Chain A
Amino acid sequence: MYVSVKGGAAAIEASWRLLAEQRRGDTTLGELSVAQIQSQLSLAVDRVMSEGSLYDPELAALAIKQASGDLTEAIFLLRAYRTTLPRFGYSQPINTAQMLLTRRVSATFKDVPGGQVLGATHDYTQRLLDFALLADGEQPASDDAPVQATGPMPADMPRVNDLMAREGLMETPQPMSHAEPGDLTREPLMFPANRALRLQALARGDEGWLLALGYSTQRGYANAHPFAGEIRRGHVSVELVPDELGFAIDIGDMEVTECQMINQFAGNREVPPQFTQGYGLAFGGSERKSMAMALVDRALRSRELGEPLVAPAQDEEFVLSHSDSLESSGFVQHLKLPHYVDFQSELELVRKLRAAHASERQAPPQKEAA
């Protein structure tokens, strides 16, 4: 008689096969290679690496392929791989002033030492569908000379914030801490959290969530007056001090996008009016993410700066408890799991209440002495 929930094991295996078919798609078309994804869907790879908290373009591309392009699922795959990796140690802080720049813009000064470098950006495309890409084959090679900077870019391009700090207009940066940073993939995040942990959570945080919260601060929920002090993208070297050597060695390069937002701060009795910063950093060319992150970081500094806490984006526990795309995606989607037992309990209650309601309507209500 009753068979509908039997056969879970067979159903799961059949589902795996269907999933593989869905991923492969039309077999008359060539299979997408991981190298193609890595090189031609590079911004998707960057997002998966950022929120997956693992800098490995090849594995991120593999995850995107395996997930049929579902980026949250790809992030899940990368995180589930990352969780088993041993920790060798902490790198030295990366020095983004010594970045090999491919893009650098400041919205606060017309010109800055080192100059503005537009680089590759969608900003000034006209968002017209390029039907040439629809036709198979390569885009016709341009006759223009390949774009090159007129000269080599200086190795050390000071950050705009540092220039302002020299004049005292910008808050003094916090002294560098030599304490080992917390790791929220090893220890639970407790509140209140320090800024390093907050930035860690934001760096792993869902781009859409940060974008919406950052946007809310621009629309009056937290009263931010942000300026993009500087956005820079490029390659930085990562250095590690192995215990047995005692000095830093270069273990490789990675591409990052950094955003420093500049916000007004009215000052108080002790501190004169000055500018304060919000900070964002993400792997690769994740520019939207790093800008949104900088806005949210600044909003979360409200308590530290003595500003009134009035908006969702300033509420540390609210922002950080809901920023992880895997936590939110998992818990929302767990509603697919059976809840027969809970629902049965609710049914029983509602039926009981409805029966009581029906009998009350038939008989005059009796006062219950409760």
Chain B
Amino acid sequence: MMDENYNFGFLDERTKKMIRRALLKAVAIPGYQVSFGSREMPFAYGWGTGGVQITASIIGQEDVLKVIDQGADDTTNAVNIRRFFARTTGVATTEKTTQASIIQTRHRIPEAALTEAQTLVYQVPMPEPLFRLEPRRSETITMHALAEYGLMNVKLYEDIAQLGTISKTYDYPVLVNERYLTSPSPIPKFDNPKMHMNPALQLFGAGREKRIYAIPPYTAVRSLDFEDHPFEVQRWDHACALCGSGDSFLDEMIVDDAGSRLFVCSDSDYCGERREAGHVGTQQAVQMSNALTVQGNAT
């Protein structure tokens, strides 16, 4: 039940209004990082303070909230954040992607397609996609203003020249609406294509770095690549051991000390729905041997 000692959603109404104004600006300029007066929250920085502030500012009594971390509803930080909102708002929570009106996420986009009625709130540690190349925000602000992204293209090119492939596997930079270079947050690049023309509103909150940005519904999101090295996503040699899905992002678990690995869906709701619908995986762990002796699938 709702804790009456705090305002609905913990934040005071003036703060929510300030954040909603920042959100409106962010939606109006897709991919642009709007600075905002991030509040100190009863969560540690780096643990979702930005996402929590956005959710607190947009949530209403009719909303149904889902919180995931690494794709799963039952990871400790997701549990903690979901409880926080249950306690400070009393709104209904769910683990079903299709039933949620707001989904707060860390590191994944759900496998199930989202709809226009849904909002996806990302927790963002580092909103600045250029920070590893230029740590000074006073410099990157200018680079964004001039759409001067040569630094990132050179970095990706150098990866290909040195490794034969782009070494970014998560937080893979995207160009939003063909204008702003944007961090998708540390989602695996596997999820990047889901951002493109998504019917749902995508909001990004970085509390410690005090930035908010957004991808409005049906906005073009392009993962950076080259004509001769097109963007591609991870593929597994295995299917989910529980539900048999061959299209989802798989978590790998070490099940014994002989090198056996179990591959299962990272999206726990997706996996559960498939099993309920009668899909079954092999229920088997697989043996992984030394990669240097394995002919890997080099796609």
Contact = CB atoms under 8 A, between A and B. Distances in A.
Contacts of A186: 37
A346 interface: yes
B42 A80 contact: yes
Contacts of B75: 5, 8, 338
Given A188-B37, A340-B266, A346-B169, A333 B164 contact: no
Name, among B75, B80, B125, B171, the residue most crowded by chain A CB atoms within 10 Å (CB to CB).
B75
A354 B164 CA distance: 12
Interface in B34-80: 35-42, 44-47, 49, 69-72, 74-80
A324 to B, nearest CB: 8
B41 A331 contact: no
B137 interface: yes
A356 B283 CA distance: 30
Contacts of B107: 339, 341-342
Given A8-B78, A344-B252, A356-B296, 17 more contacts: A5-B75, A9-B79, A12-B80, A84-B12, A188-B37, A327-B45, A333-B46, A341-B107, A341-B186, A342-B188, A344-B266, A345-B188, A345-B234, A351-B296, A353-B164, A355-B298, A358-B296
A344 B76 contact: no
Interface of A: 1-2, 4-9, 11-12, 76, 79-80, 82-84, 185-192, 317, 321, 326-327, 329-334, 337-342, 344-359, 368, 370
Contacts of A4: 253
Contact of A5 (B72, B137, B211): B72
Nearest to A352: B296
A188 B41 contact: no
B263 to A, nearest CB: 9
Nearest to A348: B234
Contacts, number: 176
B36 A2 contact: no
29 contacts: A1-B262, A2-B264, A6-B74, A8-B74, A80-B41, A80-B42, A84-B12, A187-B37, A188-B35, A188-B37, A326-B40, A330-B46, A330-B47, A331-B46, A333-B44, A338-B70, A339-B70, A340-B266, A341-B71, A341-B108, A341-B188, A342-B107, A349-B169, A350-B291, A352-B297, A352-B298, A355-B292, A355-B296, A368-B164
B6 to A, nearest CB: 8
B163 interface: yes
A329 B136 contact: no
B170 A341 contact: yes
B100 interface: no
A351 B237 CA distance: 12
A368 B165 CA distance: 12
Q: Please tell me the size bucket of the interface on B.
A: 35 or more
B169 A342 contact: yes
A337 B35 CA distance: 26
Q: Give 8 nearest A-B pairs by CB, closest first.
A: A355-B296, A330-B45, A334-B46, A345-B169, A330-B44, A188-B210, A331-B46, A8-B79
B161 interface: yes
A8 B208 contact: no
Contacts of A358: 291-296
Name, among B6, B44, B190, the residue most crowded by chain A CB atoms within 10 Å (CB to CB).
B44
Contacts of B296: 351-352, 354-356, 358
A138 to B, nearest CB: 40
Contacts of A346: 169-170
Nearest to B6: A84
Name, among A80, A321, A333, A338, the residue most crowded by chain B CB atoms within 10 Å (CB to CB).
A338
A76 B49 CA distance: 13
Contacts of A359: 295, 298
Contact of B190 (A11, A83, A345): A345
Name, among B75, B80, B255, B296, the residue most crowded by chain A CB atoms within 10 Å (CB to CB).
B296
B249 interface: yes
Contacts of B295: 355, 358-359
Nearest to A80: B42
A326 B208 CA distance: 9
A83 B37 CA distance: 12
B160 interface: yes
Interface string B226-240: 001100001010000
Contacts of B137: 191, 317, 321
Contacts of B165: 349, 352-353
A217 to B, nearest CB: 21
A317 B136 contact: yes
A339 B75 CA distance: 11
A345 B171 CA distance: 11
A78 to B, nearest CB: 10
A330 B190 contact: no
A9 B75 CA distance: 9
B82 to A, nearest CB: 9
A351 B298 CA distance: 9
Given A12-B79, A188-B37, A351-B296, A329 B163 contact: no
A83 B41 contact: yes
B138 A354 contact: no
B222 interface: no
A309 to B, nearest CB: 13
Nearest to B262: A2
Contacts of B189: 345
A84 B252 CA distance: 42
Contacts of B283: 1
A345 B189 CA distance: 8
Given A186-B37, A192-B138, A330-B208, A353 B163 contact: yes
